[in-house]
Amino acid sequence: MIVDVHAHIIVPEITWDSGSPDAWRPAVRRDAGAQVVEFGGRSIRSAVGEFVHVEGMLQEATAHGVDRLVLSPWVNLLPYDLDPPAALRACRVQNDALAARCAALPDRISALGAVPLQDPALAAAELERLMGERVLGGVEVAASVGGAFIGDDRFLPFWETAEATAAVVLVHPTTRGFDLPVLQQHYLWNTVGNPLETAVAGAHLVMAGVLERFPGLRVVLAHGGGALLSLRGRLRRAHSFQPQARSRLAGTPDASLRRLYYDTVTHDTGLLRALVDYAGADHVLLGSDRPFDMGTPDPVGEVRALGLDAEAERAVLGANAAALLGLGAGTGTAGPAP
């Protein structure tokens, strides 16, 4: 079973046409055959693959050798800008819709939902509900919430619940984490800003001691961890002598970095091979970042090009994801592995 853990969806139930005219609802339309997402006053054309209908998404994935998609919300629809009650409503629209698709296609679809992380206690309660009902495998969260990165102490109730419920947590950049004019040039907000934001989030989780405090966490960093792999030496060096760097982390940065999971969306064979060598084949999971133009159309081919041994390749292509999500052969059940 080949599993893509990084594929996004706008569920039809959250679109402008399907419910009350809430400002947080996007609209999806076609313009001369191109898919256009209208959201927040912008027209977004970077979703070049199917973004709304599961059947079309599965057809595209199957054509590239993927058996199962792990769907998660478009990161812009993580409603951190709303007040908590409205945010919870927006999350539940998506969570319930994703659960229905998992139930309808249990052998093809798994999903990670959304929680109102601006209110960590409320987010923890919604996560506990989702995991208690075993309808989803976990949640997607953004690298930062209201300017606070996710290693901040305010999010500890969420992380405690994530460990207790064995939820998979996909960390994804917000796409607007750094308000730097240079990042608005040459597509740098995506090519540089996104991986930098993921690296900051991962490093914060490590150095704040969150992964050490909750060693059972199942945290997956999008885009191969962004720039995090290239910073491991600096984190290690600072931790060896700098009191501030050692204030929360008792063990080595490498120990916590290797507790993290990473997807394969790196666009570079050498980097992906180095990631597998460093994190271990048991901590790297296949991802595509469908349906975006910065995703990869052939994630399976990229992994096979590494020339890994059969067991390592099988792990990266799907066995790791199946273990994290508690997927048995021929079943769509989500939840902690036995």
Least confident of 14-23, 64-73, 311-320, 325-334: 325-334
Q: Which domain holds residue 276?
A: 73-286+298-323
Decide if 15 is inside a domain: no
Q: Which helix (H) or strand (E) holds 73?
A: strand 68-73
Decide if 191 is inside a domain: yes
Decide if 292 is inside a domain: no
> Residue 139 is part of a domain; what is its CATH number?
3.20.20.140
Q: What is the DSSP letter of 189?
A: I
Say how many residues make up the chain: 338
Mean of the pLDDT values across residues 199-222? 98
Annotate 51-62 with three-state secondary structure.
CCCHHHHHHHHH
Decide if 52 is inside a domain: no
- Is residue 116's pLDDT more than 80? yes
- 331 vs 116, residue with greater confidence: 116
Q: What is the per-residue pLDDT across 137-194, written as a single tens digit (0 to 9) for each?
A: 999 999 999 999 999 999 999 999 999 999 999 999 998 878 899 999 999 999 999 9
Domain count, the chain: 1
Decide if 32 is inside a domain: no
Give the sheet arrangement for strand 68-73, strand by strand: 3-9, 68-73, 109-113, 138-142, 168-172, 218-221, 261-263, 284-285
The pLDDT score that the predictor gives to residue 189 is 92
How many other CB atoms are there within 10 angstroms of residue 230's CB atom?
13
Q: Estimate the share of the chain in helix, then strand, then coil, as percent rounded to the nearest 5.
A: 45, 15, 40
Decide if 64 is inside a domain: no
Decide if 204 is inside a domain: yes
- 44 vs 267, residue with greater confidence: 267
Decide if 333 is inside a domain: no
